[in-house]
Amino acid sequence: MTYQISGRTKVCGLIADPIEHAMSPVMHNAAFKKLGLDYVYVPFKVKPEDLKEAISGLRALNVRGFNITIPHKMAALPFLDKIDPIARKIGAVNTVVNDAGILTGYNTDASGFLQSLLEEGIEPGGKHIVILGAGGSAKAIAFILAERGARLVILNRHPERAEELAHRISPDVKAGALTGENLAEVLKNADIIINTTSVGMVPDINATPVPAHLISSKLLVVDIVYNPIETRLLKEAKAAGARTIDGVAMLVWQGAQGFEKWTGVKAPVTVMREEVLKGLRHEK
The packing angle between helices 248-263 and 24-35, to 10°, is: 50
The packing angle between helices 109-118 and 248-263, to 10°, is: 130
Cβ-contact 181, 214 below 8 angstroms: no
pLDDT band at 4 (very low <50, low <70, confident <90, very high): confident
In the residue annotation, 73 being an active-site residue is answered as: yes
Question: Half-sphere exposure (CA, 13 Å, Cβ side) for 145?
Answer: 29
C-alpha angle 156-21-44 in degrees, rounded to nearest 5: 95
User: For residue 222, what pLDDT is reported?
Assistant: 98
DSSP label at residue 77: G
**Whether the predicted pLDDT of 1 surpasses 50:** no
User: For residue 21, what pLDDT is reported?
Assistant: 82
Percent of the chain at pLDDT exceeding 70: 98
- Domains of the chain are 10-107+249-283 (3.40.50.10860), 110-246 (3.40.50.720)
pLDDT band at 257 (very low <50, low <70, confident <90, very high): very high
User: For residue 282, what pLDDT is reported?
Assistant: 77
Average pLDDT of the residues of the chain: 95
Mean pLDDT of 179-205: 96
Mean pLDDT of 42-46: 98
The secondary structure of the chain in percent helix, strand, coil, rounded to multiples of 5, reads 40, 20, 40
User: For residue 83, what pLDDT is reported?
Assistant: 98
- Which of 56-60, 87-91, 173-177, 271-275 has the lowest average pLDDT? 87-91
Nearest to 169 by CA among 188, 200, 148, 191: 148
Q: What is the dihedral of CA 173, 71, 258, 53, to 10 degrees?
A: 130
Q: Which of 10, 73, 89, 127 is catalytic?
A: 73
**Residue 171: is the preceding peptide bond cis (ω within 30°)?**
no
Mean pLDDT of 240-253: 96
